[in-house]
Amino acid sequence: MLARLVLAILGLLLVASAVVPVGRPQGTPGAIVASHAKPVDTADEPYDEDIALYEAAIDRIRHGENYYDFIVPEQRARNYPVNPGLAVRLPTLAYLDAWLGEAGQIVAAIALMLAVIAAWWSRFREDASLGRLPRMATTMVFVGASLGLNRHYFPLHELWAGMLVALSFGLHRIGTGGQGGCWGGAFLAAALALAIREHSLPFVLLMAATALYYRNWREAGAWIALVAVFLAALFWHLAIVSRDVLPSDPHSAPWLVMRGLSGWLANVVQASNLRFLPHWLAGPAVVLMTFGWLGWNSRAGTFGFLLSAGYGFAFMLAGRWDNFYWGAMIAPAMFAGIVFAPRAIAALIEAARSGEGPRLVAVK
């Protein structure tokens, strides 16, 4: 009965994802209404304004200015909110982009994409039960990660943070009781992602929870320490920003707007290469990418499902239509899930027919 219930829910989600809007409703700034028969487009105007702000910050740092000396007045002059302080980005990426320069950013983007692909190719090949699937899964990793080569998006924090999350996930090996795990490289990639964008925090928290669940105490301690250091740095960032905030500065529009299924699908579709697909294909693809991770009978498969579904649930609750680029936080890491979807669906169908529960999580 449980398998039948899950199949019914999955079927409803697939149908709903094919028809709910994934473009901005009419009447919102920069709205583009997506057709069910045409590829989903994005609202470039506010997106370009965001990028222009970040490019201005990079240019001023390159000319010797201190980030905190100009960022609040710069945002205010461009009619961007500075209250609360979370509306002001962390300075990490601005300094990195200024130091790398345009040529260095291109090299870094290529290197990061290749590292993500190599990490996942190695990870998939370690599981002999996957047969020929590693090639298909790695191809989907490339499709998801290739967005990182778009030079127009280099100033965007979510682009780099999302790629680092995908790299961290690919490098991580889950052990049990402190045995068999490998997490050093994953930890460093996640730490840099967190320093670039605070939206990486759910990934780090899931890493900590996973380590605790499998009794990897040393690893869990490292992840918890990273969270503590980040929160201290974020408090320091907010304290500096608050010095330049004026009583007359308007408060930012709320981020908790409850967009539901449209919020989840729109964020992932518009912030990934799924935007080139028709609406009726792009939406179901997001659902299958998320659910499909359960078809990989491993701890990593379970982690991939929890990660993709967790961000999806967060996007249902938080984020306005002009925050669609938040989807870049998870898109590079979730594309491979669709390769395992046939396995997951077949296991559910078999369980629904036989009355036995499907084996979706490895116990080894």
- What pLDDT digit, counting tens, does each position of 16-74 carry? 999 988 766 654 543 333 334 444 444 444 457 889 999 999 999 999 999 999 999 99
Quick one: average pLDDT of 242-270?
A: 91
pLDDT of residue 58: 96
Domain membership flag for residue 11: yes
Domain membership flag for residue 359: no
Domain membership flag for residue 197: yes
Quick one: average pLDDT of 97-106?
A: 95
Q: What are phi and psi of 359, to 5 degrees?
A: -90, 105
pLDDT category at 355 given cuts 50, 70, 90 is low
- Listed range (1-10, 164-173, 216-225) with the worst mean pLDDT: 1-10
Domain membership flag for residue 20: yes
Domain interval for residue 58: 2-354
Q: Measure the CA–CA gap between 364 and 298, rounded to whole angstroms.
A: 8
The alpha carbons of the chain give a radius of gyration, in whole angstroms, of: 21
- What pLDDT digit, counting tens, does each position of 71-100 carry? 999 999 998 999 999 999 999 999 999 999
Task: Output 110 or 28, whichever has higher pLDDT.
Answer: 110
Q: What are phi and psi of 318, to 5 degrees?
A: -125, 150
pLDDT of residue 353: 86
41 secondary structure, DSSP code: P
Q: What are phi and psi of 98, to 5 degrees?
A: -65, -40
Domain membership flag for residue 362: no
Domain membership flag for residue 360: no
C-alpha torsion sign, points 65, 68, 74, 80: positive
Percent of the chain with pLDDT over 70: 90
pLDDT of residue 21: 81
Residue type, 334: M
- What pLDDT digit, counting tens, does each position of 282-335 carry? 999 999 999 999 999 999 999 999 999 999 999 999 988 888 999 999 999 999
What average pLDDT is seen over the chain?
A: 89
- Within the chain, residue ranges assigned H as helices are 2-19, 44-62, 67-77, 92-125, 133-145, 157-171, 184-196, 201-213, 217-242, 261-270, 279-292, 299-317, 331-334, 341-354
How many domains are contained in the chain? 1
Domain membership flag for residue 276: yes
Domain membership flag for residue 363: no
